[in-house]
A and B are shown apart, each in its own frame.
Chain A
Amino acid sequence: MNIILDLSYPSWKFFALFLPLAALLYQLCPRTKRRFFLLILDLLFFWSFSGWLIVFPIYAAILTYGCGIWLSRINDRRKELGRKQTTRLKKRTLLFGIILLLAALAAMKYLDFFGLNLVRLAKLFHINFQWKILDLLVPAGISYYSLEAISYLTDVYRETIPAERDFFRLLLYLSFFPKLLEGPITRYGEVSESLSAGEPITADSLAKGYQRILWGCFKKIVIADHLAPAVDILFQGNVMDGSLTVAAALFFTVQEYMDFSGTIDIVIGSARIFRITLSENFRQPFFAKNASDFWRRWHITLGTWFRDYIFYPVTLSKPIMKLAKKVKKSLGARIGKLLAPAIALFCVWLANGLWHGPKWTYIFFGLYYFFWVELENILEEPFLGLLKKLHLTEKSVSVRIFRFVKLVCIVITGELFFRADTLSFGWEMFKQVFTNFHLHVFTDNLGLLGMDFWDYWTVIVGLLVVAAVGVMKEKGIPIRGKLMSLPAPARFLFWYICIFVVILFGAYGSGYDAAGMIYAKF
């Protein structure tokens, strides 16, 4: 008997088969053994996606565990070694761990990219250099657990958390199945206790978990997956018209947001069933006032990781501080003040682009945001001055509309290049917006984008629901509290309607191709 076990989060087999079974067995386990049961689940889950590549997260866990213990031993010998020697040894251990973690990541994910670009570079200098494409298999979630391992080591180095003595707890942290494929990127200090506590599942945790999963399915299956065929068609080849470029960028932005945030809802809901609270990854990003605020609300855990482990260390590093001082003396205080953060930001956005994958479009995407964030930083003060002169405030409707339109333009343009196969294709599409824009080309082709009348309306109504929930969240209205205050029959009815909306209006089954998870490939 051939059983296809697709355990990707939006698959029914994950949330209607794997999760209930896992929850039942977890509950039946003695409390002290539950963390081991979770660990077995994690490894099975990983195995279902990547098979023998399971050695990679185990390698990462052994390395991280060993370096952590080593760092703690150095700390223990602080008095004997002295401050300078302790710091030096700790730094070396940290670097050793980080380099080996990144080496595995680079080898599996970026080797072909670097090799092929070396060939291009060599050609420029007329050097004969060949690269045989390795096309290595990438272990599931390597980009996520590698960052988590680095954060753990750095936190142990900084002594914000003690080194973990129990290897299995660390392995459980790195491989916890709900967050394995798409994050969120958690910190050891935040989740290790709840991961190992073996808290019993309650009706409340089950209900809250599944409610969150349902919301995630709504975003992912009802909205994002309906847009998937249109996005594939629009980014497929010939660039026909600027109106199609705008549609492509807009559709992909919505698809990506609903896909990623929906999957994260499923992830957070799944963990909540086991009474484990994972960090939120989205906070109404389109309510942001500018590009940097957008990134504080979009893929939050990646942003905070870059802030804590790249931005601050680079800004506060000795060479950058020295450089900033020199510049301050020669070019003035304002430029000196901007320089250190600018260099750190450049590193952050370069890393952001590279983290998404081995493609120039991703690197461009990172640097594109570096440009906008820096520009907004520089112009923020003059802009506020202008508002004052115009007797406007940041809360004025016109200012908010202006900022929203600007943000949408920045974001969808970024997403256009992010999704395009190559930079030149992205540029060709982008140019069409200004040189060949005919709205009727888009409206004439609406029926040819792999979406029908019902699909368009499903997406539109779905987005209105998401926007309404977003507004309520921004205003601090406790949606869950209001729902819980309803009498039980009304609550039941509400959830039945929600379930049937997802079942009836979801893009799955005959007539739809499985859309996959966008962020699982990064």
Chain B
Amino acid sequence: MEIESKSIGKRQGGALRAAVFVALLLVLLFGASALIRPKHGEVYNITEVQMKLDALRLERAQSMDIFFAGDSESYRTFSPLQLWKERGYTSYNLGASALRLCDAYEIFASALEYQSPKLVFLETDAILAEAGTHKDEDDLLTNRVEDLLPIFHYHIFYKSYLPESVRNQDIYWKDANILKGFLVQDMERPYGGGDYMAEDKRLTPIPEANRVFLNNFKELCLEKGIQLVIVSAPSASTWHSGKHKAIAEWSEDNGVPYLDLNLLLSDMGIDWEHDTMDGGNHVNFAGAVKTTAYVGKYIEEQFELSDHREDPDFSDWDQKLKTAEAEFGLEFGHGGEASESARAMGGRDSGFLYRFNKSEEEEGRF
């Protein structure tokens, strides 16, 4: 009898310990979750958001005229240093690889805390791509847990903390920092298809979750007095008339200017034989030079922005341009092309990198 009661007591003690352990664990999980929520709302890829914001924080406060936002179509197409060199506008490219619209919004909204641009170009690929802050919107159970305990969603928040020496070697950081968010790629892989805008395709609907963030962009711009422009970067293999229709419809309904560069290829002089790095998905450096030159002209014609090149307050931009051209062996603007030294640059344009990109390409987006 005594042995039995001891055994029951032992079992009850074990169960109590287990219950206390689980309860304390939940307290810790909820506590940690409360600490790491992003500032303005939920995001998908916290590492990309933080990296971009960290780079942007190095810029002088209230020094930017223009932001470019979006995913890889943005950050491989619009070159802020070229825009400076050719037009004297200060800009930053907030885009990143496979960035979702919710993340683009978080970066933009956070950036407005210390920058007051007059103009923001939102590239359209992210608007029509995978939506939502969760990895898989259909995985409701996982999403519910992540909503309750964001520690599981933002568990890699620490990744933006890097030793300075390591960060300065990181190629994506160099793009974000030295090239003002622009990504250089001078490899050529031609696009062999025909006129991709000729075929009349059915309208591609904007995902509901992205519609919310698109409206958030619009509202925030209105609130801050920023001119929002929707822009579609040249992309022969991913863009088509059905996507154009969706964006044009939204732009018209909301009174936002829309610039589809896919309809202006001959004006820009885009040659898909040489101006794309991956068979038409993204422009390469040569394509970016042409596109940025055109966008610079468009800005000059449509908006009244000051040329800061003679302004001593902005003399640091000339220095930044020189540093970037030396570091990357590039000449921005005026038909500049990547130099031999850029081609030799640590694997960036090697066949190996190409293979890496190919794997990303197979997933549909960069």
Contacts and interface: CB of A to CB of B under 8 A. Distances in A.
Interface string A222-242: 000000000011001110100
Nearest to B167: A453
Interface of B: 11, 13-15, 17-18, 21, 24-25, 28-29, 32, 44-48, 135-136, 138-142, 145-146, 151-153, 155-156, 158-159, 162, 166, 169-172, 346-347, 350-353, 355-356, 358-359
29 contacts: A1-B140, A4-B138, A4-B140, A12-B152, A17-B141, A202-B11, A203-B15, A207-B18, A238-B352, A238-B355, A240-B351, A244-B352, A447-B170, A447-B171, A448-B347, A453-B162, A453-B166, A454-B156, A454-B162, A492-B21, A496-B25, A503-B151, A503-B152, A504-B156, A509-B146, A509-B156, A510-B135, A510-B153, A511-B48
Contacts of B142: 4, 12-13
Contacts of B47: 511
A506 B158 CA distance: 12
Given A448-B353, A500-B28, A509-B135, A236 B140 contact: no
A506 B155 contact: yes
B356 A233 contact: yes
B244 to A, nearest CB: 29
Given A233-B359, A237-B358, A511-B47, A452 B159 contact: yes
Interface string A428-454: 000000000000010011011110111
Contacts of A238: 351-352, 355
A137 B249 CA distance: 45
A157 B352 CA distance: 57
Contact of A503 (B11, B155, B356): B155
A225 to B, nearest CB: 13
B155 A448 contact: no
A485 interface: no
A61 interface: no
Contact of A13 (B141, B170, B171): B141
A506 B141 CA distance: 19
Contacts of B17: 203, 488
A443 B295 CA distance: 38
B179 to A, nearest CB: 16
A496 B140 contact: no
Contacts of A206: 18
A233 B355 contact: yes
Given A503-B29, A509-B152, A511-B156, 5 more contacts: A203-B11, A444-B347, A447-B169, A447-B170, A509-B135
Given A203-B14, A444-B346, A448-B352, A510 B162 contact: no
A67 to B, nearest CB: 42
A2 B138 contact: yes
B331 to A, nearest CB: 24
A12 B149 CA distance: 13
B155 A504 contact: yes
Contact of A492 (B13, B24, B29): B24
A244 B351 CA distance: 13
Contacts of A453: 162, 166, 170
